[in-house]
Amino acid sequence: MDITIRASFLPYDDPGASLAFYRDVLGFEVRGDVGRDGMRRLTVGPVGQAGMSVVLHPVADDPELLLATPDLDSLFERLQARAEVIQEPIERPYGMRDCAFLDPAGTLIRVQELR
């Protein structure tokens, strides 16, 4: 799957569920898993894109992850049965096409189609 991360530092309620979602559902690789004093910080990112990462941390405000892919329909088709869909793919009046869904912690993930 060809996904590009545009941003993010995301919270989690359950580190195991979040790790499973980003690793097993989105196919991201685990780049770091550090714990200390009851806190656990996870770093994941798309395979082959070492400069782009998502940091999952138990404390983060107003989280949203913005992703991009050249094939929005294929990605949406794959994810709609495995994630809560917030918005099906739509064409925006300003020339962008995107969709949105939630991860297990309720974080909004918006995916834009690369053109």
Domain CATH number, residue 68: 3.10.180.10
- Given a cut of 60, whether residue 113 has pLDDT beyond it is yes
Q: Mention every residue, 6+ apart, whose C-beta is less than 8 A from residue 102.
A: 83, 84, 86, 108, 109
Residues 53-88 have pLDDT tens digits of 888 877 666 677 888 899 999 999 999 999 999 999
Is the separation of the CB atoms in 100 and 111 below 8 Å? Answer: yes
**SS3 call for 30:** strand
What is the per-residue pLDDT for 62?
67
- Given a cut of 80, whether residue 105 has pLDDT beyond it is yes
Split into its structural domains, the chain has a count of 1
**Domain limits at 96?**
4-113
What's the order of all strands across the beta sheet hosting 4-7?
Answer: 4-7, 64-69, 108-113, 97-102, 84-91
